[in-house]
């Protein structure tokens, strides 16, 4: 039997921080209000392109696995904020890494994108289509976030996380999975006019930012994350009490807490870092997994659950049996260069664009 073991992991966060206190200068909000409703204290804003973040996270993951980029068979990049539609952003990442023997593709399932990609890559390895796959979640949501809209400005940030999957005969990796979508609810969380949708013409700030019907998305996220999480635990032949760590999508601290209560899981067995980075969409789960490993929260043979929910409305869950290694084989000194711009200088193109909207 062929299985897909996670052998490498890495993350990349832009150095520019957008704290709640900074948002107080842009919209009618406060640190106390944001923290109470979301659990978020700050988020990161990229001054470069998304694949710059993806490259850094990937180099850390490759080093942790003890691999070179030319040993990869495939690059799967999960994102809903691509640098371009033609070519796919994975092409840029493949070139940056010089992964000359790898195919490359984007996968867009919004905030569920990394879990979708992890399940897809695991299936490809199990089927014999590949032996080594790089799976990356990366977002530059600052491009489509209106920082003058108090409802969404507080939520989103930029970042990247990556894992390496390698074939093994050991029964580890993906034990059970669930993929879902309700395409009749797309208007609840979307960018209204994007891609080829809408009338051709200049980008309109009034329809070019993320829109969110928060209460309904909250309700559906709690329901589907808890139900899909419980389903994969059962399908893997586990009980909730046997789950060593839940790594959920980091959208809202209250969503995470509600999911944990519904599952009946000990809160000490849940990893959350939303306070530091906000919602980085497809990047949240691999960033969280990397930090859980760095903090010693994963042991050999542990039973993990990844669960996510996002625009589409999509959801995904994976029951994962961890392999034997929890320490990186090598390390990388790759990093995102610090910018000489101030926070407001980094945000200026965004603010200038969205000031054209009648708030």
Q: Are 250 and 277 in contact (CB under 8 A)?
A: yes
**pLDDT in the model for residue 196:** 80
Q: What range does the domain containing 13 cover? A: 3-174
pLDDT range class, residue 108, cuts 50, 70, 90 = very high
Q: Are 173 and 306 in contact (CB under 8 A)?
A: no
Residues 250 and 279 in one domain: yes
Q: What angle do CA 85, 91, 96 make, to 5 degrees?
A: 130
Residue 264 has pLDDT above 80, yes or no: yes
Distance CA 256, CA 263 (A): 11
50 lies in some domain:
yes
Residue 246 has pLDDT above 60, yes or no: yes
**pLDDT in the model for residue 358:** 60
Q: Strand (E) positions, the chain?
A: 3-12, 16-19, 42-45, 74-78, 103-107, 132-140, 158-168, 173-181, 189-190, 211-212, 245-248, 303-310, 314-321
The tokens describing 59, both together, are: 């180099």
Q: Are 92 and 114 in contact (CB under 8 A)?
A: no
**pLDDT in the model for residue 36:** 96
**pLDDT in the model for residue 202:** 77
Residues 288 and 141 in one domain: no
For the segment 211-232, the average pLDDT, to the nearest whole number, is 96
pLDDT range class, residue 149, cuts 50, 70, 90 = very high
β-bridge pairing 303-310 and 245-248: parallel
Distance CA 223, CA 171 (A): 30
Q: Are 19 and 69 in contact (CB under 8 A)?
A: no
Q: Of 80, 108, 111, 350, which residue is the catalytic one? A: 111
Residue 197 has pLDDT above 80, yes or no: no
Poorest-confidence range of 117-126, 210-219, 280-289? 210-219
330 lies in some domain:
no
Q: Are 96 and 53 in contact (CB under 8 A)?
A: no
For the segment 105-132, the average pLDDT, to the nearest whole number, is 98
345 lies in some domain:
no
Distance CA 240, CA 290 (A): 23
Residues 65 and 103 in one domain: yes
Residues 209 and 166 in one domain: no
Residue 259 has pLDDT above 90, yes or no: yes
144-176 in b/e form (b: 16+ CB < 10 A) is bbbbbbbebbbbbbbbbbbbbbbbbeeebbbbb
80 catalytic residue (yes or no)? no
Residues 148 and 195 in one domain: no
101 catalytic residue (yes or no)? no
pTM of the full structure: 0.97
Q: Of 249, 252, 302, 350, which residue is the catalytic one? A: 249
279 catalytic residue (yes or no)? yes
136 lies in some domain:
yes
Q: If DSSP codes are grouped into helix, strand and coil, which group holds residue 161? A: strand
CB atoms within 10 A of CB 205: 17
Residues 136 and 225 in one domain: no
Residues 142 and 205 in one domain: no
Does the N-terminal peptide bond of residue 48 adopt cis geometry, omega within 30 degrees of 0? Answer: no
Q: Into how many domains does the chain fold?
A: 2
Residues 167 and 260 in one domain: no
357 lies in some domain:
no
Final residue of a structural domain among 129, 158, 174: 174
What is the residue-averaged pLDDT of the chain? 96
335 lies in some domain:
no
The tokens describing 29, both together, are: 């909000």
Residues 188 and 296 in one domain: yes
Residues 135 and 268 in one domain: no
For the segment 121-141, the average pLDDT, to the nearest whole number, is 98
**Bridge partners (DSSP) listed for residue 8:** 164
Q: Of 110, 252, 279, 302, which residue is the catalytic one? A: 279
Residues 23 and 129 in one domain: yes
Poorest-confidence range of 120-134, 194-208, 290-304? 194-208
Residues 169 and 210 in one domain: no
For the segment 50-58, the average pLDDT, to the nearest whole number, is 98
244 lies in some domain:
yes
342 lies in some domain:
no
CATH number where 234 lies: 3.40.47.10
């Amino acid at each position: 039997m062929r299985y897909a073991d996670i052998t490498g992991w890495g993350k990349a966060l832009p150095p520019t921080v957008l704290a709640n206190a900074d948002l107080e200068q842009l919209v009618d909000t406060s640190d106390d209000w944001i923290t109470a409703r979301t659990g978020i204290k700050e988020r990161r804003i990229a001054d470069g392109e998304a694949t710059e973040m993806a490259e850094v996270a990937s180099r850390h993951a490759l080093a942790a696995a003890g691999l070179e980029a030319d040993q990869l068979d495939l690059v799967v990049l999960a994102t809903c904020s691509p640098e371009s539609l033609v070519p796919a952003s994975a092409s840029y990442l493949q070139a940056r890494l010089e992964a000359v023997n790898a195919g490359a593709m984007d996968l867009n399932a919004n905030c569920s994108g990394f879990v979708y990609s992890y399940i897809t890559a695991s299936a490809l390895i199990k089927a014999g289509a590949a032996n080594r796959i790089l799976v990356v979640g990366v977002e530059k949501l600052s491009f489509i976030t209106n920082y003058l809209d108090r409802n969404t400005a507080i939520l989103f940030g930029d970042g990247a996380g990556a894992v390496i999957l390698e074939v093994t005969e050991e029964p580890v990796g993906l034990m059970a999975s669930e993929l879902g979508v309700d395409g009749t609810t797309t208007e609840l969380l979307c960018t209204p006019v994007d891609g080829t949708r809408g009338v051709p013409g200049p980008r309109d700030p009034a329809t070019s930012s993320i829109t969110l019907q928060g209460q309904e998305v909250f309700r559906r996220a709690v329901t589907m994350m808890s139900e899909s999480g419980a389903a994969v635990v059962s399908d893997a032949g586990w009980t909730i009490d046997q789950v060593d760590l839940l790594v959920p999508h980091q959208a809202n601290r209250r969503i995470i807490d509600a999911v944990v209560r519904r599952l009946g899981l000990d809160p000490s067995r849940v990893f959350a870092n939303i306070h530091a980075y906000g919602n980085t969409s497809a990047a949240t789960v691999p960033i969280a997994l990397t930090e859980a490993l760095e903090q010693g929260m994963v042991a050999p043979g542990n039973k993990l659950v990844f669960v996510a929910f996002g625009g589409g409305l999509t959801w995904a869950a994976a029951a994962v049996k961890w392999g034997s290694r929890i320490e990186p084989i090598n390390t990388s000194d790759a990093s995102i260069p610090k910018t000489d711009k101030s926070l407001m200088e980094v945000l200026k193109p965004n603010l200038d664009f969205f000031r054209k909207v009648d708030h």
